[in-house]
Amino acid sequence: IATRLLRAAVEWARAGGELHKLNLQVHASNEAAWALYQRLGFADEGRLRGEARVGDRYDDLVPMGMWLRPPPGSENPGEGGPR
């Protein structure tokens, strides 16, 4: 269900024509979610060490992004663009 919901959200964002990029953050320990986002075309954009407290420990957050259309000012339309 999560895959279908996220895929529908991405398609809705593309169809609107106003958004250039989608962003999210995932807990590094949530490997299933991380893999889902990667399968749908999101790319890792860094790592925030110890950013989220989970119970008595700290977890890293991984910012992820997906370009829906080429970035403004991009010399190469494919560079950093949609997958």
Note the pLDDT tens digit of each residue in 14-52: 999 899 999 999 999 999 999 999 999 999 999 999 999
Q: Is the confidence at residue 83, as pLDDT, over 50? A: no
Q: What is the pLDDT of residue 61?
A: 98
pLDDT band at 82 (very low <50, low <70, confident <90, very high): very low
- Say what the pTM is: 0.80
Bridging pattern class, strands 43-44 and 48-54 = unpaired
Residue ranges with strand state E in the chain: 21-27, 43-44, 48-54, 57-67
| In the predicted structure, residue 79 carries a pLDDT above the cut 50 | no
